[in-house]
């Protein structure tokens, strides 16, 4: 998976794990559509991007 660099673990991201929301650092210039596609291919899930 080229676009997703690593998972982010902060106090807020750990709280979001309880809501099945995951936080990752991604390549600069990646679009929401690309990130969604990578997550769906890698994890085999239906992703809904939530970017703050």
If you write DSSP's letter for every residue of 10-26 in order, what string do you get?
-HHHHHHHTTT---EEE
Per the domain annotation, does 23 fall within a domain?
yes
Nearest-angstrom CA–CA distance, 11 and 32: 24
Q: Could you give the number of structural domains in the chain? A: 1
Are 37 and 44 in contact, with CB atoms under 8 Å apart? no
Q: For residue 10, what pLDDT band results from cuts at 50, 70 and 90?
A: very high
Per the domain annotation, does 49 fall within a domain?
no
- Asked whether the whole model's pTM tops 0.75, one would answer no
pLDDT 10s digits, 16-50:
989 888 888 888 888 888 888 888 888 888 887 66
24: which strand partners? Answer: 7
Per the domain annotation, does 9 fall within a domain?
yes
Q: If you ran DSSP here, which 8-state letter would residue 3 be given?
A: S
Per the domain annotation, does 16 fall within a domain?
yes
- Determine the structural domain holding residue 18 and report its residue range: 4-43
Per the domain annotation, does 52 fall within a domain?
no
């Amino acid at each position: 998976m080229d676009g997703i660099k690593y998972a982010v673990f902060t106090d807020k991201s750990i709280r979001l794990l309880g809501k099945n929301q995951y936080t990752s650092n991604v390549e600069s210039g990646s679009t929401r559509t690309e990130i969604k596609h990578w997550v769906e291919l890698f994890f085999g899930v239906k992703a809904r991007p939530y970017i703050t």
